Chains A and B, each alone.
Chain A
Amino acid sequence: MKYKKLTKINPDVQIYARIEDDGKSYINCNDQNPDFKAWVDAGNTPEAAD
């Protein structure tokens, strides 16, 4: 599992897609999402947007 930045639609909000091991994304979130924060706190960095 990893997170990847999505190209901004709202210029004030960065959204991250959670990419599962099968390559699909079932969840996208902001930077206050508890699972995202835990993933970042574990030393991970989201991939850049396309």
Chain B
Amino acid sequence: MAKVITTELQHSGASGANVTLDSSKNVTCENNLQVDGNVTVTGTLPADKLTGALPAISGASLTGISSPGRAHNLIINGAFQIWQRGTSSNLVGYRTADRFKTSFAGTHEDPTRSKLALTSSDTGPWAAGFRNAYRITNGNQTSVEAGDKIKIEYKVEDQDLACSGWQAESTSSYLTMSFWLRSSVAQTYYVILESKHGTSKQYSFAATISSANTWTKITKTVPGHADISFGNDNGEGMDIYICPFVGTDESTSGHTLNSWKNTSGSDQVPDMTDTWYDTDDATFDLTGLQLEVGDTATDFEMRSYGDELLRCLRYYYRTGHGQSMANDTAIAQGYNRNTTTGQYTHTFPVPMRVPPTAIESTGTVTDYKISQLATGTVCDAVPTFDTANTLQAHIYFTVASGLTAGYGSRASTYNGAGKYIAFSAEL
């Protein structure tokens, strides 16, 4: 076989070599290299050898790339941007951040939930873009009983899971949950997922805080199970519990973590240390809660304030949306049924999950007013519910006297800023 032995190849019109060859078998192309066939690398091509300005390369032919999950967070208000009900409460139930409630029992001093404004010193969540967290401040629990508990609770709507793409009945299809957690007490806490449609199943896992007062990113991938299914409806699909403390009425020493089992009231988590619960004013902070389809935790799906508010309004709506409305803000236009009662239709900003069954008010009758022509009359009863569908509610305002039956009238707030009415369609 003939060989050409040389160190350079040069075009007749070039001022220097196009290709140089050295004794170590390196080949250097001094300018562009065009390959009309395939390029095969039999050795390795380390990433650090791909230097310089790379061209745009289509990923259509790339294979072997694991699924990054879908950038879709099934949790609403996971960044705790929306607080229509208020920013601090020690009452049970939905009281502060939208879509989240805290249930507790057996406490000697009720825990306080509050909006925690993060700062640049909140290493981790701050850099990830979070500006709020949901804080529980424990009360002074003078003893620990079996029935004691404090749980953060979130309910996912059935059809959101049914249409999520998660093949819930498959053990090789996954949900991934991620969140930032911080506590003033380093210990192991627990999280429970509870499917609600059909045969209810529970899945529990540990969320360990190794260092007090330090934000920790918790990530957990959960497989499906043959018994789990979801309906394409507006009922409860899955409940999520994040537990600062659960007493032995709901825990078992031999509890098995990290697997689905039939729902049990008494075997939800392993027996928990009561260190956090037994510490007066201990804190428990949560933000960045994300639940997504796939086996990988992706970056949190940041939504605009407006987008997140619209999602929340499906479940709860307060006039003002958490902002303080000015005095004498109109609530509705309507007409007078008689000399004491005005009837009004109040339209919701978005269709609610189900027709509300109640109206909420400030509880103070003089916070409301009916105006007829140029005359305003302060109410002598709080606004009263009549009927509702998912789009609007019929309500009544009542005064002692002075209305003209059949006249048009206007219902409004009164007695200062911050008055409201509200409707709930929470799960």
A residues at B contact (CB < 8 Å) = 6, 9-10, 13, 15, 18, 20, 24-30, 32-36
Contacts and interface: CB of A to CB of B under 8 A. Distances in A.
Interface in B226-258: none
Given A24-B364, A26-B360, 12 more contacts: A9-B386, A10-B387, A15-B385, A15-B386, A20-B363, A25-B363, A26-B363, A26-B382, A28-B384, A28-B385, A32-B357, A35-B358
Interface in B372-427: 382, 384-387, 396, 398
Contact of B384 (A6, A33, A35, A36): A6
Contacts of A15: 384-386
Given A9-B341, A9-B396, A24-B363, A29 B385 contact: yes
A3 to B, nearest CB: 11
28 contacts: A9-B337, A9-B341, A9-B384, A9-B386, A9-B398, A10-B387, A18-B358, A24-B363, A24-B364, A25-B363, A26-B360, A26-B361, A26-B362, A26-B363, A26-B382, A27-B358, A27-B361, A28-B358, A28-B382, A28-B385, A29-B358, A29-B385, A30-B357, A30-B385, A32-B357, A33-B357, A33-B358, A36-B358
Contacts of A10: 386-387
Contacts of A32: 357
Contacts of B384: 6, 9, 15, 28
* B contact residues, range: 10 to 19
A42 to B, nearest CB: 15
Contacts, number: 49
Looking at B358, B362, B363, B384, the one whose CB has the most chain A CB atoms below 10 A away is B358
A25 B358 contact: no
B359 interface: yes
A33 to B, nearest CB: 4
A29 B337 CA distance: 20
A28 B359 contact: yes
B7 to A, nearest CB: 87
Contact of A25 (B341, B382, B386, B398): B382
Question: Which secondary structure characterizes the binding site on chain B?
Answer: strand
Contacts of A13: 386-387
A26 B382 CA distance: 8
Contacts of A9: 337, 341, 384, 386, 396, 398
Nearest to A24: B363
Interface in B335-372: 337, 341, 357-364
A14 B44 CA distance: 78
Contacts of B387: 10, 13, 30
A34 B382 contact: no
A32 B357 CA distance: 6
Nearest to A22: B363
Contacts of B337: 9
A17 to B, nearest CB: 8
Looking at A6, A10, A20, A33, the one whose CB has the most chain B CB atoms below 10 A away is A10
A10 B388 CA distance: 13
A26 to B, nearest CB: 4
A32 B362 CA distance: 22
Contacts of B385: 15, 28-30
A25 B365 CA distance: 10
A46 B18 CA distance: 96
A30 B382 contact: no
